[in-house]
Structure 1
Amino acid sequence: MEINENAALVVVDVQKGFESEFWGRRNNPGAEQNVAALIDAWQATGRPVVFVRHDSVHEGSPLEPGTGGNAFKDFVEERRGGGSGPELLVTKSVNSAFYGEPDLDVWLKAAGIGQVVVVGIQTNMCNETTARMAGNLGYDVLFPLDAMHTFDLSGPFGWVQTAEELTRATAVSLHGGGFARVVTTEDVLKGAAVVG
């Protein structure tokens, strides 16, 4: 797998509010370690990193602006500004990072970036929506499934899906539907020539 020299790492909503019991049971306890490894690799190679923050418009949300939950998790905040490459902060109040401020698509196109790597929280929500939109906009999208996590979820008709089931469904939909290439963190790190 080849990772472009200017591929953008899009780190979606890695915020303290997702540590709240509000969300329920999560999967993939190794997600944060993989996100950190990818940020480190991008910063070490001068590639662009986009940090996306969800500013919820719903009062009482764990991600509401002005609350502790709105802040990035410490390991992300500590890495912001730490690379030699371009960096962007996008704030949003909906699922897609492409509907935030400033305009992510405009920023990527102005920089001549055609490949994006989407990581963060939640796999089947903001990550999937961002990846789908990126695919529709013509980007080559990589989706390292082990660098993200989600939560069990209840839906219509009394249906309940575990975080693992939702992760598999997202992976099949994105990869099978041609929106993104579902890969691993190791795949991406090797492609970026930061591991042997």
Structure 2
Amino acid sequence: MKVQIKDKMNKALLVIDMQKGSFTEVTPRYDTEGVVSRINGLSSLFRKMDFPVIFIQHDGTGSGEFEKHKWGWELLDALETKPTDILIDKYANDVFYNSKLQSSLEERNVDELIITGCATDFCVESTIQSGLTKDFDITVISDGHTTGERPNLTSKQVIAHYNWVWQNMIPTKGKIDVMSFNEMKEMLKL
């Protein structure tokens, strides 16, 4: 049995649920254009560095929402995708649950996840918690995730709250950082 030794961190960019069905007039999201622009910028940098860009799409087949290959399931038109990107279906808030994400990451020797997407307080949060229990290093892009208005908090307050929570978490074996798009961009250019 051959043991593989890692000589550097292998990063993957996760783009969670940036689908048409999550961005409707009934479900407006905070700073959609800005979040999409920052995701596109990160995606471009990751591709140049040969790190995987993974688009996660909720598959609600049979539920009447996010039906695979229907309008609500499709990625937002403004997202820039490439044939080399990886598309993974998910079936619960936690992207790891019953999906091919874990095996896809293992195949590529990924040990650090850069997380973006929608919705901050549901699928983004669940995936971060799950990734930490699987000992991934995690970096959340503070201005790269979005959500909608909630009964007791504005979307901006929800985003600020979760950025604070993640900055103050005690991780398992891995680590968790929260940084802005510009901070990540500068770090990747080094």
TM superposition score category, shorter chain reference: 0.7 to 0.9
* Correspondence 1:13 to 2:11: no
Residue correspondences, number: 178
The change in CA–CA distance for 1:66 and 1:90 in structure 2 (over 3 A counts) is: closer
**Identity score, percent:** 22
Whole-Å separation in 2 of the counterparts to 1:168 and 1:58: 34
1:147-167: CA deviation from partner (whole Å, max 9, x where unpaired): 12110123xxxxx21101111
Q: CA deviation at 1:75?
A: 3.2
Query: Is the Cα–Cα contact under 8 Å of residues 11 and 118 in structure 1 kept in the other structure?
Result: yes
Whole-Å separation in 1 of the counterparts to 2:147 and 2:94: 16
Partner letter of residue 143 of structure 2? D
Of residues 69, 74, 81, the one that matches 1:71 is: 74
Q: CA deviation at 1:5?
A: 5.7
1:100-124: CA deviation from partner (whole Å, max 9, x where unpaired): 432x223222322111100111112
1:2-53: CA deviation from partner (whole Å, max 9, x where unpaired): xx66200011111111221232x42124111001101111112211111100
Query: Is the Cα–Cα contact under 8 Å of residues 7 and 114 in structure 1 kept in the other structure?
Result: yes
Whole-Å separation in 2 of the counterparts to 1:91 and 1:125: 16
TM superposition score normalised by structure 2: 0.84
Aligned to 2:82: 80
Query: Is the Cα–Cα contact under 8 Å of residues 28 and 148 in structure 1 kept in the other structure?
Result: no
Unaligned 5+ segments in structure 2 are: 1-7
Unaligned 5+ segments in structure 1 are: 155-159
- Matched residue of 1:107: which SS? helix
Whole-Å separation in 1 of the counterparts to 2:10 and 2:74: 27
Q: CA deviation at 1:58?
A: 6.6
Aligned to 1:32: 36
Structure having the higher helix fraction is 1
* Correspondence 1:186 to 2:182: yes
Whole-Å separation in 1 of the counterparts to 2:168 and 2:53: 27
1:1-196 equivalences under 5 Å are 6-23=10-27, 25-29=28-32, 30-57=34-61, 59-61=63-65, 63-76=66-79, 78-81=80-83, 83=84, 87-102=85-100, 104-154=101-151, 160-179=152-171, 180-193=176-189
